[in-house]
Structure 1
Amino acid sequence: MKGAEALLRALEREGVEVVFGHPGGAIMPVYDALYDSRIRHILVRHEQGGVHAATAYARASGRVGVVMATSGPGALNLVTGLADALMDSTPLVAITGNVPRALIGTDAFQEADVTGVTMPITKHNYLVQDVNDLPRVVREAFHIAATGRPGPVLIDIPKDVQLAEFTGSFEVVPDLPGYKPTTKGHPKQIERALDALEKAERPVLMVGGGAQHAHGELLAFAERTGLPVITTLMGLGAFPGNHPLWLGMPGMHGTVAANRALHHADVILAVGLRFDDRVTGKVARFAPHAHTIIHVDIDPAEIGKLVRTHVPIVGDSRLVLREMLKGAKPLRLAAWWRELEEWRTRHPLRWRPKPHLQSQEVIRAFHEATGGRAIVTTGVGQHQMFAAQFFPVTRPRSFLTSGGLGTMGVGLPFAIGAKVARPEELVIDFDGDGSFQMTLQELATLVKYRLDVKVVILNNGYLGMVRQWQDLFHARRYSEVYLADSNPDFAKLAEAYGVQGVKVERKEDLMRGVEAVLAASGPVVAEFKVYQEEGVFPMIPAGGAAEDMIIEHPAEREEVGA
């Protein structure tokens, strides 16, 4: 067989069922072999859409996502998605074609040094020089992508290697002597952690995306101990958003209760997170009363990187929590919970009703109509934070957004990947008019594969989050954020692609619009015209801390010390 066929055989042996991609000259032999393969291919309209869809497929399914692209511009169009997957620890394998080996380095047509470009934004990458190395490289790539701290791996294959005769073996074992992730937490460190929690008066359990697969152990541990639980943006769904122990999301747009809990906590148990700046704010002022921070993470490089850790536990969050459960006891936290309940009761997430339709009420209406039983994807911006606040999810792998990189445009391709991974689920993309237009060409992918995705555009006519910052911190100098004068009619745009379009402009038509979206038998793009000047609050200004939290817009301002 040829190298291209050997590649697909190797992918099949890894259990790959779906790949996302777009063909081109330098990967044409692989696409020719794909014609006879059992692997399902999803043709996207832009490589960035493909890598984002593969990312969401991985996050929604728990499997490794796969994307393919040609050389040069095709490969380089994967860059943003690879960086996004690296920042958010997503297992992904990207396969790119390259010019023949003899032409590498000659500035050949559609040549780019993709391994050089992607080295800083992948967990590992390969340039395959020998066709017989393909099974080993594929096996190693999937192993690296899925184990330890997950991340993207790129395999670059010159065209002549794809066409070369394969005479090797598929019976390969990864030989990676320098790569041995620690998965089991040290027993003594686990004992120290449990001891610190037992002595704590104001402990908090903070959970990140690295605990999505540990949701069962997490729930059991929280319920046994009675610990208050906070989930980061990437951790949403790892712990049920309707559970009485849940305080909400921390950080810049987190709840008052979550941020105050962190500020006043004496012991913090952090599981599967990296203390991102959007969570900590100014690190020097983060959790000033915490005499013990316990950090559980499979990546030792993250422990102590930003926040001083007193009890480091390197290991897989599921395995560590299983061990911690063996020694966990109910904690005496009645006084602490009285304080937490006061904050939660006095400062719930809310919005001030206005005559105009508002993003928050649109999202809340969808939550009530679905009972929260949906996979939610978002773009990046105000709508993203409103969705995180007002569509609490109760199941793991059900809130898919771009966290670390903050990539506008991921909402629609994320919805595609989620729907392919879990076709029986309702998938809703809450998007912004700015974010949606970065990848809207993937509407064609919805149509081609009859993917029943509901796209809900919260159209405020602005790059809303940028406008909010200009409003608060740049003297209302609204520079290059106004979109309403050039936005399309999104419902008509959808219909041009063959997707049902819905438009809602009045508050009194909200429920009619929600019902129309949910009752539709196929993909829908629904445009909700929302209040232009809405802000996302609470808000901790960049570089601030919990005591700097702004509860409402300065025009209605209530600054509350922590």
Structure 2
Amino acid sequence: MKMSGASCVVEALRQEGVSVLFGYPGGANLLLYDALIDSGIRQVLVRNEQGAAHAASGYSRVTGKPGVCMATSGPGATNLITGIATAYMDSIPLIAITGQVGTDLIGRDVFQEVDITGATEPFTKNNYLVKDIRDLPQIFKEAFHIATTGRPGPVLIDIPRDVQTAILDFSYPEAVDLRGYKPTLKGHPRQIKKAIEAMMDSRRPVIVVGGGGIMADATSELIAFAERMQAPVATTLMGIGAFPASHPLSLGMLGGDHGVYPAKQAVAEADFLVVMGSRMADRSTGKRSDFAQKALTVVHIDVDPAEIGKNIDIHIPIVGDIKRTLQGLLEQDFHRENPEWMTQVQEWKRVVKGTGAGEGAAGLDPMKVIQQLSAKASKDTIVATDVGQHQVWTGRYYAFEHPRTFLTSGGLGTMGYGLPAAIGAKIGCPHQQVLLVTGDGSFQMNLTELATAAQEGLSIKIVLLNNSRLGMVRELQEHFCEKRYTQTTLTGNPSFGKLAEAYGFPAIRVEHQEELDAALDHLLAHEGTMLAEFIIDPVSNVIPAQQV
């Protein structure tokens, strides 16, 4: 069937099962948008292209499907960059489509021309500049395959205007076979056997699971393995939700400065450590020379061989998909009891070390806000956060029971991620409650996406922790700059309640602890989007943890 290049793009999306596209139109993608009109694909108009990438990421993370975003050339394309890099760092499957100037104009510095494939090469799994319409079907088939297999990640496709207008007798490939790209999914049997033997010789085993456990949908296998192994489970920030918080073997979030006490203690004392689906970067390990020093054996399982042993010393590498590799481990004949270790772990779990507001605090205790929010929200509620102190408080004190219910920017640490990610999550899972936990600094990065929520008729409950500060930076200045505070007090903050109302949403403001319960009940019961602003103690810290 003969069709234009723009129509070929739309048909390729349909063939891949795409039902939602987040984007912003412009001159270089005008024809792509025109071809979308009768496609049946839902188009979500964001207010900034960065929001499109984050929304596509949020959609992907809750559904397990690749998110799709689109922008025009030049500034439209460059506005996608932060969202693409965010997805790359957190291994989120994303297809980013950009319009481009005509092929005969490339390299001439014409209006709204930018080398977006060159700019994004370091943080895309692959990218394409389409120079010939005949390559379009194959490129799209490859892009979706690459984005969703092995270690997932973003792929960008840049399409010049003349390719969009050219005509092709369209035929979509049924399969793709890329030479040199054959991800290993099943762990090697010999390595699996070695891991089991080392585990059976250990006395203090610990499992650490990262975002790879969620991407692989490996929760049921992880629970079975932990129970048979009698090993407690810590999660990295990206792994939150992979193991239910209520399970007796759950340790909570691991982190050098930001992790909870039982997770840090158990890893510090472990003589056998299994790391699954995590690169174990600095936020998870803290000072590398101090990490897991008593571990006689460290097993590292990851579908990406480049991540194994990159940040920590390991003894037994296993390349493979977490779910498939856990299935291989569970096929082995092993079962163990470990009462002394389990008793010690439970003692650590009874010790609560946190960061709450002290006596005479000038505002609410953020720890209590998050704890009470967690207690009141349904267990399948999806929670998105931005980046800052509120992100860490949520990771520490919100009890997540299910995978794909915690969305945050872990690797890149992108302020402004939360609201568009929550929008994508609500569109992906319309029947689940979606919360956004944000700070007054992060919220202002992409707050214009409130218009997108209004336009789409979405129900998102916004929990805004307002300390009138860039709290995490202020805290770092307290610790490392001898309390010389500069450029972290947000004296120009707007009235967030009036701002929400300007977009058509109700808002409440909470300043006192005795108001907290009723305010949270009101927020969670409200039909539609609502903003609840909680005035928290401006000097509450995340680190160092102090016992309360």
TM over 0.5: same fold?
yes
In structure 2, what is the equivalent of residue 312 of structure 1?
317
Q: Distance in 2 between matches of 1:378 and 1:49?
A: 14
Instruction: Indicate conservation of the 8 Å contact 1:360/1:386, yes or no.
Output: yes
Pick aligned residue for 1:243 from 239, 244, 247: 247
Cα drift, residue 393 of structure 1? 0.5
Pick aligned residue for 2:422 from 415, 427, 449: 415
Cα drift, residue 512 of structure 1? 2.2
Pick aligned residue for 2:74 from 68, 72, 75: 72
Q: Distance in 2 between matches of 1:161 and 1:371?
A: 49
Instruction: Assess, with a 3 A threshold, how the Cα gap between structure 1 residues 36 and 371 changes in structure 2: closer, same or farther.
Output: closer
Pick aligned residue for 2:136 from 122, 134, 137: 134
Pick aligned residue for 1:196 from 192, 195, 198: 198
In structure 2, what is the equivalent of residue 329 of structure 1?
334
In structure 2, what is the equivalent of residue 47 of structure 1?
49
Cα drift, residue 82 of structure 1? 0.8
Within the alignment, does 1:479 sit opposite 2:486 as a pair? yes
Q: How does 1:242-391 map to 2 (within 5 A)?
A: 242-251=246-255, 252-327=257-332, 329-349=334-354, 351=356, 354=359, 356-391=363-398
Pick aligned residue for 2:440 from 433, 436, 443: 433
Instruction: Indicate conservation of the 8 Å contact 1:224/1:328, yes or no.
Output: no
Q: Distance in 1 between matches of 2:469 and 2:376?
A: 27
Instruction: Indicate conservation of the 8 Å contact 1:382/1:464, yes or no.
Output: yes
Q: Distance in 2 between matches of 1:311 and 1:171?
A: 39
In structure 2, what is the equivalent of residue 7 of structure 1?
9
Pick aligned residue for 2:178 from 176, 179, 183: 176
Within the alignment, does 1:529 sit opposite 2:541 as a pair? no
In structure 1, what is the equivalent of residue 496 of structure 2?
490
Q: Distance in 1 between matches of 2:354 and 2:518?
A: 25
Instruction: Assess, with a 3 A threshold, how the Cα gap between structure 1 residues 534 and 352 changes in structure 2: closer, same or farther.
Output: closer
Cα drift, residue 171 of structure 1? 3.1
Provide, for residues 273-296 of structure 1, a one-character-per-residue CA deviation record: whole Å limited to 9, x for no partner: 101111112212211111111000
Look up the equivalent residue of 2:464 and give its one-letter code: I
Pick aligned residue for 2:188 from 186, 189, 195: 186
Q: Distance in 2 between matches of 1:489 and 1:328?
A: 62
Cα drift, residue 343 of structure 1? 2.0
In structure 2, what is the equivalent of residue 545 of structure 1?
none
Cα drift, residue 348 of structure 1? 4.8
Q: Distance in 2 between matches of 1:486 and 1:192?
A: 59
Provide, for residues 141-171 of structure 1, a one-character-per-residue CA deviation record: whole Å limited to 9, x for no partner: 0000000100000000001101111124213
Instruction: Assess, with a 3 A threshold, how the Cα gap between structure 1 residues 504 and 352 changes in structure 2: closer, same or farther.
Output: closer
Q: Distance in 2 between matches of 1:350 and 1:457?
A: 18
Instruction: Indicate conservation of the 8 Å contact 1:45/1:442, yes or no.
Output: yes
TM-score of the pair, normalised by structure 2: 0.97
Instruction: Indicate conservation of the 8 Å contact 1:93/1:141, yes or no.
Output: yes
Within the alignment, does 1:502 sit opposite 2:528 as a pair? no
Provide, for residues 411-455 of structure 1, a one-character-per-residue CA deviation record: whole Å limited to 9, x for no partner: 101100110110000000000000000000000000000110011
Cα drift, residue 172 of structure 1? 4.7
Instruction: Indicate conservation of the 8 Å contact 2:141/2:173, yes or no.
Output: no
In structure 2, what is the equivalent of residue 229 of structure 1?
233
In structure 2, what is the equivalent of residue 543 of structure 1?
none
SS of equivalent residue, structure 2 residue 426: helix
Range 460-469 or range 166-175, more displaced: 166-175
Pick aligned residue for 2:219 from 215, 219, 225: 215
In structure 1, what is the equivalent of residue 409 of structure 2?
402
Pairwise CA RMSD:
1.3
Instruction: Indicate conservation of the 8 Å contact 1:298/1:316, yes or no.
Output: yes
Pick aligned residue for 2:545 from 535, 541, 551: 551
SS of equivalent residue, structure 1 residue 11: helix
Look up the equivalent residue of 2:274 and give its one-letter code: L
Q: Distance in 1 between matches of 2:83 and 2:226?
A: 34
Instruction: Indicate conservation of the 8 Å contact 1:96/1:154, yes or no.
Output: yes
Q: How does 1:95-114 map to 2 (within 5 A)?
A: 95-114=97-116
Instruction: Assess, with a 3 A threshold, how the Cα gap between structure 1 residues 328 and 488 changes in structure 2: closer, same or farther.
Output: farther
Q: Distance in 2 between matches of 1:504 and 1:490?
A: 12
TM-score of the pair, normalised by structure 1: 0.94
Pick aligned residue for 1:447 from 447, 454, 478: 454
Provide, for residues 205-236 of structure 1, a one-character-per-residue CA deviation record: whole Å limited to 9, x for no partner: 11000001111111111122221110110000
Instruction: Indicate conservation of the 8 Å contact 1:185/1:313, yes or no.
Output: yes
Instruction: Indicate conservation of the 8 Å contact 2:467/2:537, yes or no.
Output: yes
Provide, for residues 319-345 of structure 1, a one-character-per-residue CA deviation record: whole Å limited to 9, x for no partner: 000111111533232121222222222
In structure 2, what is the equivalent of residue 542 of structure 1?
none
Q: Distance in 2 between matches of 1:339 and 1:244?
A: 13
Q: Distance in 2 between matches of 1:427 and 1:353?
A: 31
